[in-house]
Amino acid sequence: MSFARRRFLSGSAALAGTLLGRTRAHAQAAWTVLGTPVDSVAWLRDVRRVIIDTDPGTDDLLAIMMMLGARTIVTEAVTVTPGNIGYDQEVRNALWLAQTLTDGRVPVYRGIDHPLMNRPYPVAGFIHGRYGFGDMVVPEVALRPGPEHAATAIVRIVSAHPGEVVLLALGGLSNIALALLLDPSIARKARGIVMVGGRYEGIGTPVSFNAMVDPEAADIVLRSGLPIVMTGDLGRTVMLTQADFDHIRGFNTDKSRIFLESNAGRLAFETTKRHKPGATYADPFAASLVLAPAVAQAFEAVHMTVELSGTETRGAYVFGGTHIYTGDALPPNVVVCTRASADMFRDTVFKALQS
């Protein structure tokens, strides 16, 4: 082998080693330890104003019923974001709920109708049914969307009430990310954001449907500085079983009847296709964190990012407390609820559907 060739190969190896070292130094693909236990989140107490950002499907319906029925919390707006089903049907569903539950007093705003990068995203008709509310046909109502774009409305409302507004993020994060791009200062002005996240169970990369819808939006939110509380994987804690559905049937209220008609298919899907003892309700649990924060019994503060480019893992959350390659401690940017009261969750749901 010639001297020139040996020198070229040696230089190439050194360059590759340098690049690999840089990649490892900046990689955020796994962690060595979890985060820090947290007993409670102060800003969840005594919430008075909420914006519901939603992709109205079966679980969103229940969460919205819970919030719009609250006596001490004002829902300033319902903003519609890409997610569970076709966007126009989501808007129709949101308008119908606002008209039915509040006589149109709560405004509904259309937002961006696709992810920020306009990439394809999953829909979940398999669990939400043809119309988003199971097979319940949602009629058109007189109420029309407000004149503002959802992102503009979020900026306006948060800025008008600094330190008061909680963003209840039930779907993809496109509208909230766009609002942050329009006015980054709302990250400091908002009271916080409660978002439905992934299956936080330990070190790993759990998939999150809402992050899969718009990973770039999730990345913007996670890096924004917003105080973030995320639902974790709470298993049976946030389930409603057939016995719970039967109990709800006994309420015989308009809300209970709407819930049962729209969610019968969700219960059937989860029990027969996923072999679970009941239907999972992460969105209503997120609402319960705002309505009755004592439902949460433990949190964990973690550093969290979202995978943007993985072929099979795009939209997966990556979390932990220490970088696997460098050993550096990473500052937490998310507080995840890791344990909650199943009894209090069900009681909060029952109370909402009884009225």
pLDDT tens figures, 215-244: 999 999 999 999 999 998 888 999 999 999
Strand 296-306 vs strand 108-110: parallel, antiparallel, or unpaired? unpaired
Give φ, ψ of 141 to 5 degrees: -120, 170
Judged by DSSP in three states, 239 sits in strand
Q: Looking at the domain assignment, is residue 151 inside a domain? A: yes
Q: Looking at the domain assignment, is residue 311 inside a domain? A: yes
Query: How many whole angstroms separate alpha carbon 265 and alpha carbon 228?
Result: 32
pLDDT in tens, 3-37: 444 443 444 444 334 333 333 334 443 455 677 89
pLDDT on residue 206: 62
Count of alpha carbons within 13 angstroms of residue 59, beta-carbon side: 25
- Counting other chains too, the contacts that 40-45 makes at CB distance below 8 Å and 24 or more residues apart are 40/293, 40/296, 40/299, 41/192, 41/227, 41/229, 41/293, 41/296, 41/299, 41/335, 43/166, 43/191, 43/192, 43/227, 44/192, 44/194, 44/229, 44/289, 44/290, 44/293, 44/296, 45/293
Under 8 Å between Cβ of 95 and 142: no
Query: How many whole angstroms separate alpha carbon 226 and alpha carbon 193?
Result: 7
Name the β-bridge partners of 230: 195, 336
Number of domains the chain contains: 1
Q: How far apart are the first and last CA of the chain?
A: 85
pLDDT on residue 22: 37
Q: Residue 302 belongs to what domain range?
A: 36-354
Query: How many whole angstroms separate alpha carbon 76 and alpha carbon 157?
Result: 8
pLDDT on residue 200: 54
Judged by DSSP in three states, 297 sits in strand
What tokens does 237 get? 């804690």
Query: How many whole angstroms separate alpha carbon 340 and alpha carbon 234?
Result: 7
pLDDT on residue 30: 45
What tokens does 7 get? 């020198």
Kindly report the CATH number assigned to the domain that includes residue 63.
3.90.245.10
pTM of the prediction? 0.90
Judged by DSSP in three states, 292 sits in coil
What tokens does 171 get? 């779907």
Q: Which residues of the chain are under the pLDDT cut of 50?
A: 3-30, 203
Under 8 Å between Cβ of 82 and 174: yes
pLDDT on residue 330: 84
pLDDT on residue 170: 98
Instruction: Find, among 72, 131, 129, 127, the residue nearest to 281 by Cα.
Output: 127
Q: Looking at the domain assignment, is residue 310 inside a domain? A: yes
Check the CA dihedral 242-244-250-255 and report its sign.
negative
Residues with catalytic function: 55
